[in-house]
């Protein structure tokens, strides 16, 4: 059953013209992360590789392609967590960085802290020699078009966001049984400057524990925070629920208690995995035993050999 | 229904010279919060007013009296949560604000978001007319001296100090006469922290959590350890599984010690008014009021009683 890697490219209602591209990116990121694990790489290396690929892909709301805040700027959140030691690193509202997930990993490995925010995170990036990229290089025409559209007084950014949530994330178990998760996002469309969503918050935007499993969520960030979704799903697994049942109960609770929609990828220490969502769609893919699984609409589950071209 | 408030002034090795002031501070804050509950005020109003009282008190590391970061600046974190709806608000790394807990409440009530950080939080504060306070007015002479002293040591030594010194986060939990619970937590973080360091306090489920179905918790102690175990949510999950409030707190603090070697403290209250104030650090200043009786303590297993008139 090991190694295994599961990736999501965001939950929402994905327009048909974007669904194909969205699933293609998730599949290729899954292949890349799985290749790392197959070579004997750690779960942490695997999830960071997969998320880095999606950050670099302009079709997702993370890294290049991030949504814009109300001022038309990119501010990103990311987190990683290592299930062996519960070590974690996060950045919130960081700018001018191509790969926030890698910066989050540096926070975990090079500081005694767990989360750095805004200008402090950028200052740390400079000290670490992380290349600063121009803000423009992270902005796509699509992101700018959607920003303009939602500046209208009658706009509904939360509803519009569901058309491209696009937060990206991954969970994995490596051959040694170590578990990790990573999540990265540009946040919510037309958010206030300095808004931090669930992604940077441990237990909300991700959690990994070798004894229980790992979760990476996507969806309405404020709702995910209110129910501490990742930790909630893992509590259910500690109580004996399967990864799939726990994911479904966590998402159902979020919907009934705070009216929030979203999706998760979940894995347990034995390598059993789930990709579940309460939104209309979520692009996801999983790799296990040299087979690639993927889907985007509810109930969809395609498989192919990991070595087949996209 | 029985109304209860519990407050803490931080779990750490509180030096003797400020121990009395710390006890007096938590007692005053608990009484202030309770007076609201007694008049029929909400749990949310009570925890906010108790935390404001401690933010305004220079003996505590929150608001006025906060510790300084490595650049010698004050950056504050706070959270507030309403157990009725799970609505919550938080600010992280905000500067020049005297009462971050009230700004966190404004985030909850006046925006679609849960958390605002850094300059964005300050812009929001300006936007809603919150008065800005010059950094110098938030810094005590005592803290400036401590910071200068610690600046001389190597990082490793500073961290050693930090495990015992200066995490006096403040917090409150309450249940009101209608059975609603709420929590609030506010802090200046840890001395000589990196610029932009965010600790557990503003993170939902770590520095605090409140849910009418299980109870409310506010945490203090080594922030990075609290984050790793999502302490507030962990305590409530034990209560959900049927544990007594005090057992849930002790079990979770012990787990944090075993799993990530972190020390800390927490206060908790259940919707039916059971409460606990426990810590694994040397000391934690705490106080509680229920049925016009004030309880308080500082050292392990200490529990003094005082009848309020």
CATH number, domain containing residue B193: 3.60.20.30
Higher local confidence (pLDDT), B145 or A241: A241
Q: What is the pTM (predicted TM-score) of this model?
A: 0.96
Q: Is the pLDDT at B151 greater than 80, yes or no?
A: no
Residue window 250-269, chain B: list those with CB within 8 Å of chain A: 259-260
Q: Is the pLDDT at B10 greater than 80, yes or no?
A: yes
Q: Measure Cα distances from A179 to A2, A172, A266, B223 in Å.
A: 11, 6, 11, 23
Beta-bridge partners for B264: B221
Domain coordinates in residue numbering, chain A = 4-204+282-305
In eight-state DSSP terms, residue A164 is G
Active site residue A199: no
Confidence label for B65 from pLDDT (cuts 50, 70 and 90): confident
What is the ipTM, given to two decimal places? 0.95
Residue B11 Cα to chain centre, angstroms: 10
Q: Does A253 touch chain B (CB under 8 A)?
A: no
What pLDDT, on a 0 to 100 scale, did the predictor assign at position B117?
Answer: 98
Ordered DSSP codes for B236-291 = HHHHHTT--HHHHHHHHHHHHHHHH---EEEEEE-TTS-EEEEESSSEEEEEEEET
What pLDDT, on a 0 to 100 scale, did the predictor assign at position B152?
Answer: 65
Q: Measure Cα distances from A217 to A103, A144, A202, B21, B123 in Å.
A: 20, 25, 11, 45, 29
* CB–CB contact B233 A124 (8 Å): no
User: Could you report the per-residue pLDDT of B154-200, keeping only the tens digit for each?
Assistant: 554 445 544 555 557 999 999 999 999 999 999 988 888 899 999 99
Indicate the pairing of strand B215-221 with strand B264-269: antiparallel
* CB–CB contact B196 A117 (8 Å): yes
Q: Is the pLDDT at A8 greater than 50, yes or no?
A: yes
Option in B87, B113, B197 nearest A116 (CB) = B197
User: Can you read off the two tokens belonging to residue B200?
Assistant: 């557990």
Q: Is the pLDDT at A155 greater than 80, yes or no?
A: no
What pLDDT, on a 0 to 100 scale, did the predictor assign at position A309?
Answer: 78
User: Could you report the per-residue pLDDT of A93-148, keeping only the tens digit for each?
Assistant: 999 999 999 999 999 999 999 999 999 999 999 999 999 999 999 999 989 998 99
Residue of A nearest to B116 (CA): A195
What is the tally of structural domains in chain B? 1
User: Could you report the per-residue pLDDT of A174-219, keeping only the tens digit for each?
Assistant: 999 999 999 999 999 999 999 999 999 999 999 999 999 999 999 9
- With beta carbons under 8 A apart, name residues in chain B contacting A112: 155, 159, 224
- Average pLDDT of chain B is 92
Give the domain extent around B86: 4-307
What pLDDT, on a 0 to 100 scale, did the predictor assign at position B296?
Answer: 98
User: Could you report the per-residue pLDDT of A266-286, keeping only the tens digit for each?
Assistant: 999 999 999 999 999 999 999
Q: Is the pLDDT at B9 greater than 80, yes or no?
A: yes
User: Could you report the per-residue pLDDT of B219-278, keeping only the tens digit for each?
Assistant: 999 999 999 999 999 999 999 999 999 999 999 999 999 999 999 999 999 999 999 999
Q: Is the pLDDT at A261 greater than 80, yes or no?
A: yes
With contact defined as beta carbons under 8 Å apart, do B69 and B189 qualify?
Answer: yes
Confidence label for B138 from pLDDT (cuts 50, 70 and 90): confident
């Amino acid at each position: 059953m090991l190694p295994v890697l599961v990736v999501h490219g965001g939950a929402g209602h994905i327009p048909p013209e974007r669904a194909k591209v969205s699933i293609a990116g998730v599949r290729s990121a899954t292949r890349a992360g799985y290749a790392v694990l197959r070579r004997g790489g750690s779960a942490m290396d695997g999830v960071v590789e997969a998320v880095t690929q999606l950050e670099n892909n302009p079709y997702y709301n993370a890294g290049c392609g991030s949504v814009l805040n109300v001022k038309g700027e990119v501010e990103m959140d990311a987190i990683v967590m290592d299930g062996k030691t519960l070590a974690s690193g996060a950045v919130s509202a960081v700018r001018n960085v191509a790969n926030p997930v890698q910066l989050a990993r540096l926070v975990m490995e090079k500081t005694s802290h767990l989360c750095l925010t805004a200008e402090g995170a950028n200052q740390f990036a400079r000290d670490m020699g992380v290349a600063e990229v121009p803000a423009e290089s992270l902005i796509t025409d699509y992101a700018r078009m959607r920003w303009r559209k939602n500046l209208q007084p009658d706009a509904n950014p939360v509803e519009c966001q569901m058309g491209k949530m696009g937060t990206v994330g991954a969970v994995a178990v490596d051959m040694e049984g170590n578990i990790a998760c990573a999540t990265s996002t540009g946040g919510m469309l037309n958010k206030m400057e300095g808004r931090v969503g669930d992604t940077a918050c441990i237990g909300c935007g991700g959690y990994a524990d070798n004894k229980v499993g790992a979760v990476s969520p996507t969806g309405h960030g404020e709702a995910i925070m209110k129910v501490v979704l990742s930790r909630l799903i893992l509590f259910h697994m500690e109580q004996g629920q399967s990864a799939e049942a726990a994911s479904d109960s966590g998402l159902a609770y979020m919907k009934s208690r705070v009216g929030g929609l979203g999706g998760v990828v979940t894995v347990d220490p034995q390598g059993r995995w789930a990709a579940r969502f309460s939104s209309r769609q979520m692009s996801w893919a999983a790799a296990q035993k040299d087979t690639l699984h993927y889907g985007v609409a509810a109930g969809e589950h395609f498989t192919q050999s990991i070595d087949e071209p996209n | 229904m029985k109304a209860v408030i519990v407050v803490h002034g931080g779990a750490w090795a509180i030096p003797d010279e400020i121990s009395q002031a710390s006890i007096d501070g938590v007692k005053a804050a608990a009484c202030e919060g309770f007076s609201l509950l007694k008049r029929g005020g909400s749990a949310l109003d009570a925890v906010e007013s108790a935390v404001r009282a401690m933010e305004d008190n220079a003996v505590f590391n929150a608001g006025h009296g906060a510790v300084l970061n490595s650049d010698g600046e004050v950056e504050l974190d706070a959270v507030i949560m309403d157990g009725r709806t799970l609505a919550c608000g938080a600010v992280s790394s905000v500067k020049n604000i005297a009462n971050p807990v009230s700004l966190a409440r404004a985030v909850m009530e006046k925006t679609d978001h849960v958390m605002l950080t850094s300059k964005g939080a300050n812009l929001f504060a300006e936007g809603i007319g919150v008065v800005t306070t010059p950094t110098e007015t938030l810094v005590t002479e005592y803290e400036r001296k401590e910071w200068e002293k610690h600046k001389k040591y190597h990082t490793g030594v500073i961290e050693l100090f930090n495990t015992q010194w200066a995490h006096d986060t403040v917090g409150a939990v309450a249940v009101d006469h209608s059975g609603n619970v709420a929590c609030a937590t506010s802090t200046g973080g840890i001395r000589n922290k990196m610029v932009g360091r965010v600790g557990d306090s503003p993170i939902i489920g770590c520095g605090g959590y409140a849910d009418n179905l299980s109870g409310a918790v506010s945490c203090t102690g080594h922030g990075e350890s609290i984050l790793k175990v999502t302490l507030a949510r962990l305590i409530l999950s034990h209560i959900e599984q049927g544990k007594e409030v005090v057992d849930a707190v002790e079990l979770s603090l012990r787990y944090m010690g075993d799993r990530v070697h972190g020390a800390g403290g927490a206060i908790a209250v259940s919707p039916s008014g059971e409460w606990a104030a426990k810590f694994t650090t040397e000391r934690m200043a705490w106080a509680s009021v229920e049925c016009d009786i004030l309880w308080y303590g500082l050292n392990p297993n200490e529990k003094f009683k005082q009848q309020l008139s």
